[in-house]
């Protein structure tokens, strides 16, 4: 937060719904939306893909507006309406001039309270989502993370693809959509957020008036995740084998997540990173390679991804594993300082963008029941030491590995050989 900006404001309405805003006086536009703590891991087996499907159906007509009227009314005030579904949340958001925020809130309340879910629209949107599933499977870069999560969390809701399957999507009907909406879209699990040109008192008053029809009972918690590791290979006739290799990580409630993010950044977060330098610059085994740490409410994963020619797959994996293992022993102060500086720039860039700030605020409120200031996060990054980063890496490497490969990957080493190379346990299914 800038020293010249007002502090963010939070209001909890009588129903339990939270409203958060950040006034940014230099802005004439506002980024705003509704965030719901309900994602793909909250679905029952027969609902697989329903969180994402509901996001699609929200724009298909209400008792007050047709699908065309929804988009025309939003675009008439310059709004760009969109939505997204993740493992743990679903969000509906817009960017428009601050003076028109009440119009957007009215439309959000309408689509979440009064959608008709017309059977013909459901049928058409099923076809759209089936095409989306096909497009994902045609793109190794998009499909790879889904396969990775399916292997890392086998036979668990958190490991299921967000889009669902062809079979599950075809089974959706109006009754099932309404049942999911009633069970998951409950006010304690909903946050309304805005950043930019926003008046908090008016925002809270409009939210009280427009969103009073949701249940005030808390939704049931999702099944606890259990990382298991494993592998899946989809052998296809492609120019490259697309690979993702990883281990268990930390949840966003675990203080070690900051060290894990730094560990991933040192390994594959920039051009100076170890994997980029060793795999691409010195050996020419891949055009691009990166590493990331993904944190969820009760678990996390550390992973690296790359593409390689058929004959280079084994060497790429062996070199990457050696670099990851070496990092747990000899990450140095200079590397940590570079990673810390780059992570700070990424963090502060987010705080300078209304769209990213509103997303951060909503997720923090739903995840932590409070806002986390940039100063607090910067302090946590400053507190990192090479010892804490190495230790986080070692803990992650002590879990069973997960390997996902799409393309000409027959030369990829077996999962038990991968585990043995870094001294990790072998996945139970191997």
Q: Tell me which residues are annotated as active site.
A: 55
Report the distance separating Cα 18 and Cα 36, nearest Å.
Answer: 11
SS3 (DSSP) at 119: helix
Q: How many residues does this entry show for the chain?
A: 430
Instruction: Assess contact for 31 and 194: CB atoms under 8 A.
Output: yes
Q: Rounded distance, CA 325 to CA 374, Å?
A: 32
Q: Where are the alpha helices (DSSP H) in 140-294?
A: 140-152, 166-170, 174-184, 200-210, 257-268, 274-275
Q: Across-strand partners of 194?
A: 21, 32
Q: What is the Cα gyration radius of the chain?
A: 23
Q: Whose structure tokens read 């909903």?
A: 190
**Residue 331, C-beta contacts closer than 8 angstroms, at least 6 positions apart:** 263, 266, 386, 389, 390, 393
Angle at 247 between CA 243 and CA 252, to 5 degrees: 115
- Residues 184 and 174: their CA atoms lie apart, in Å, by 16
Give CA–CA dist 324/48, Å, rounded. Answer: 35
DSSP secondary structure of 235-251: ----SSEEEEEEEE---
d(CA 206, CA 199): 11
């Amino acid at each position: 937060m800038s020293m010249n900006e007002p502090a963010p404001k939070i209001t909890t309405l009588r129903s339990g719904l939270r409203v958060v805003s950040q006034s940014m006086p230099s802005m004439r536009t506002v980024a705003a939306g509704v965030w719901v703590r309900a994602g793909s891991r909250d679905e029952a087996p027969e609902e697989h893909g329903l969180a994402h499907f509901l996001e699609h159906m929200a724009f298909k007509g209400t008792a007050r507006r047709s699908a065309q009227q929804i988009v025309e009314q939003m675009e008439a005030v310059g709004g760009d309406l969109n939505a997204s579904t993740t493992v743990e949340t679903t969000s509906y958001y817009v960017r428009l001039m601050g003076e028109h925020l009440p119009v957007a809130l009215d439309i959000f309340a309408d689509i979440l309270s009064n959608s008709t879910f017309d059977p013909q629209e459901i049928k058409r949107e099923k076809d759209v989502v089936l095409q989306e599933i096909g497009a994902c499977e045609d793109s190794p870069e998009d499909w790879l993370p889904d396969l990775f999560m399916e292997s890392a969390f086998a036979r668990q809701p958190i490991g299921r693809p967000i889009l669902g399957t062809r079979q599950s999507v075809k089974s959706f009907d109006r009754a099932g959509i309404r049942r999911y909406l009633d069970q998951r879209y409950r006010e304690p699990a909903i946050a309304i957020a805005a950043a930019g040109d926003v008046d908090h008192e008016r925002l809270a008053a409009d939210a009280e008036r427009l969103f009073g029809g949701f249940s005030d009972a808390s939704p049931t918690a999702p099944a606890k995740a259990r990382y298991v590791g494993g592998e899946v290979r989809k052998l296809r006739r492609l120019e490259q084998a697309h690979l993702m290799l990883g281990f268990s990580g930390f949840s966003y409630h675990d203080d070690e997540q900051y060290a894990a993010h730094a560990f991933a950044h040192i390994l594959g977060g920039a051009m100076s990173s170890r994997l980029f330098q060793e795999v691409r610059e010195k050996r020419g085994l891949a055009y691009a390679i990166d590493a990331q740490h993904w944190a969820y409410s009760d678990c996390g994963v550390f992973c690296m991804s790359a593409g390689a020619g058929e004959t280079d797959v084994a060497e790429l994996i062996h070199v990457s594993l050696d670099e990851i293992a070496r990092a747990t022993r000899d990450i140095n102060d200079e590397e940590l300082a570079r990673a810390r500086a780059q992570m700070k720039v990424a963090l502060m860039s987010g705080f300078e963008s209304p769209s990213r700030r509103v997303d951060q605020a909503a997720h923090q409120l739903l995840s932590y029941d409070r806002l986390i200031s940039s100063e607090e996060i910067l302090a946590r990054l400053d507190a990192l030491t090479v010892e804490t980063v190495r230790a986080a890496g070692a803990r992650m490497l002590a879990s069973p590995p997960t390997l996902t490969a799409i393309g000409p990957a027959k030369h990829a080493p077996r999962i038990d050989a991968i585990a043995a190379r870094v001294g990790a346990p072998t996945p139970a299914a191997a």
